[in-house]
Structure 1
Amino acid sequence: MSDVTNDLRLDGKTVWVTGAGKGLGRAMAVALSQAGATLAVTARTADDLERLAAELAGHGGKVLVLPGSVADSDAVRAAVGRITEWTGRLDAVVNCAGVSPHFTRSERVTDEAWQQVLDINLAGTFYCCREAGKVMLEQGSGSIVNVSSVHAGAGFERIAAYAASKGGVEALTKSLAVEWADRGVRVNALAPGYFRTDLSSGLLDSRWGERIVGGTPMGRVGEAEELGGAAVFLASDASRYMTGTTVTVDGGWTAW
């Protein structure tokens, strides 16, 4: 009989988290380390990663710091090479790197602003899936968790590029799941609702915040650490019969 407690443990497994410097990516990296994972962490700001690594090392965690942008396919390829040199394997990836720098009416979105969001959120996720997938397919096992958003499927004003990028992430997730399932690699998506982070605080503290909370049956936004359990579940053997699925963690949030 399978022991679900053991299935949720990540001891002996190497897990790569992108966007790990702050916010939801950082919270998920902490949870994965607490579950026993050996971590590789990527973000554009090295200082954020070094602080995370020092904190986790203080609790016995093993962490490899890999600063860089997921929008740079050469940097992604190099990062995966460093990880496999370090531990010889790659068991799970949590693709959390993403941006939403513009809250702008769609008719005012510039070509450059549109492309910036898609380069990081969608192309970057694909680059990480592709390079990690090569290693996992050779191993015959692995779990990829792509961080999407409730806005992949629920409309909201002034975030056209972000919503389009996250819709693309979910379509990519389903396609890879079908393509790689028979070779032991699972690909799922995790779609957070509204959590309080540096990325969301400006919106939540504006006049829009009341509308957002008002559309959440639980009557509040999430705290970053409340996403950690879902990330551990999808990365671990506890979800071994799941692929191509989107797990939504949103307090029941609905569009209006």
Structure 2
Amino acid sequence: MNDVNRDLRLDGRTVWVTGAGKGLGRAMAVALSQAGAALAVTARTTGDLEQLASDLSGHGGKVLVAPCSVSDSTAVRSTVERIVDWAGRLDAVINCAGVSPHFTRSEKVTDDAWRQVMDVNLAGTFYCCREAGKVMLEQGGGSIVNVSSVHARTGFERIAAYAASKGGVEALTKSLAVEWADRGVRVNTLAPGYFRTDLSSGLLDSRWGERIVDGTPLGRVGEADELGGAAVFLASDASRFVTGTTVTVDGGWTAR
């Protein structure tokens, strides 16, 4: 009989979280640290990461601050090398870095705006999977969790680039899961619905917020710390027979 509590622990594991400075990435990093993981945390700037490291270190967590833009493949490669130098291994990755800077009618989306979203959300996720995957394949195992969105599969206005990028993330996840399964590397997607973060607050506080809540059977948006359990599950041995799937945490949200 498996010990579920033991399987959910990450003691002795090294986990890399991108987009860890704020919002959902930060909340998942906290949950992973509480489960015993040594963390490498990445974002484009250092201030938020250093505050996170200070908070976690104060509770005994082991943290490496590794600023990096995931859209820069050379920087991603160097970051993975730095993590392995620091910890000796890399057991799990949470690819949470993402942007959604435009809430614009599709006919008004510029080429530059489209590329910005694709470079971070889709290309950046692939770069991180590729470089982390090299380490995990050599180790003989690991878990990659790509953060997608309910909008990968459910249409909504004014987010064409974001939705397309997240749909690409889910297709990428399925492909890598099949390709790497026989070498012990699992690849899954975690798809949040609407959570209150710095990224979403402007939308939720606008006229669209009521519509979003009305489409959520639980009658509210999520709080960031409510995503941590799903991240721990997918990173840990509790999900060792799960690959190529999408875990949706959205309060039952549907577009209305």
* 1:79 aligns to 2:100 (yes or no): no
Query: Paired residue for 1:218?
Result: 218
* 1:156 aligns to 2:160 (yes or no): no
* 1:27 aligns to 2:27 (yes or no): yes
Aligned ranges 1:194-205 → 2 under 5 Å: 194-205=194-205
Residues of 1 paired with 2:22 and 2:173: CA distance?
A: 24
Deviation (angstroms), 1:45: 1.5
Residues of 2 paired with 1:62 and 1:88: CA distance?
A: 14
**Partner SS state of residue 40, structure 2:** strand
Deviations 1:210-238 (A, max 9, x none): 00000000000000000000000000000
Query: Paired residue for 2:64?
Result: 64
* 1:126 aligns to 2:126 (yes or no): yes
* 1:98 aligns to 2:101 (yes or no): no
Query: Paired residue for 2:193?
Result: 193
Q: How many residues align?
A: 256
Residues of 2 paired with 1:209 and 1:254: CA distance?
A: 13
* 1:179 aligns to 2:179 (yes or no): yes
Deviation (angstroms), 1:255: 1.4
* 1:246 aligns to 2:249 (yes or no): no
Residues of 1 paired with 2:139 and 2:50: CA distance?
A: 30
Residue type at the aligned position of 1:211:
R
**Partner SS state of residue 190, structure 1:** strand
**Any gaps of 5 or more consecutive residues in structure 2?**
none
Q: TM-score, normalised to structure 1's length?
A: 1.00
Residue type at the aligned position of 2:108:
R
**Partner SS state of residue 15, structure 1:** strand
**Partner SS state of residue 20, structure 1:** coil
Q: TM-score, normalised to structure 2's length?
A: 1.00
Deviation (angstroms), 1:34: 0.2
Deviation (angstroms), 1:3: 0.3
Deviation (angstroms), 1:89: 0.4
**Partner SS state of residue 199, structure 2:** helix
Residues of 2 paired with 1:202 and 1:214: CA distance?
A: 17
Deviations 1:137-191 (A, max 9, x none): 0001100000000000000000000000000000000000000000000000000
Q: For the aligned residues, what is the CA RMSD?
A: 0.3
Deviation (angstroms), 1:110: 0.2
Residues of 2 paired with 1:214 and 1:245: CA distance?
A: 27
**Partner SS state of residue 64, structure 1:** strand
Residue type at the aligned position of 1:163:
A
**Partner SS state of residue 189, structure 1:** strand
Residues of 1 paired with 2:150 and 2:144: CA distance?
A: 19
* Identical counterparts, % of pairs: 86
Residues of 2 paired with 1:200 and 1:230: CA distance?
A: 20
Residues of 1 paired with 2:118 and 2:61: CA distance?
A: 33
Which portions of structure 1, spanning 4 or more consecutive aligned residues, are displaced by more than 4 angstroms?
none
Deviations 1:46-79 (A, max 9, x none): 0000000000000000000001100000000000
Residue type at the aligned position of 1:197:
T
Residues of 2 paired with 1:218 and 1:242: CA distance?
A: 26
**Partner SS state of residue 199, structure 1:** coil
Residues of 2 paired with 1:40 and 1:233: CA distance?
A: 18
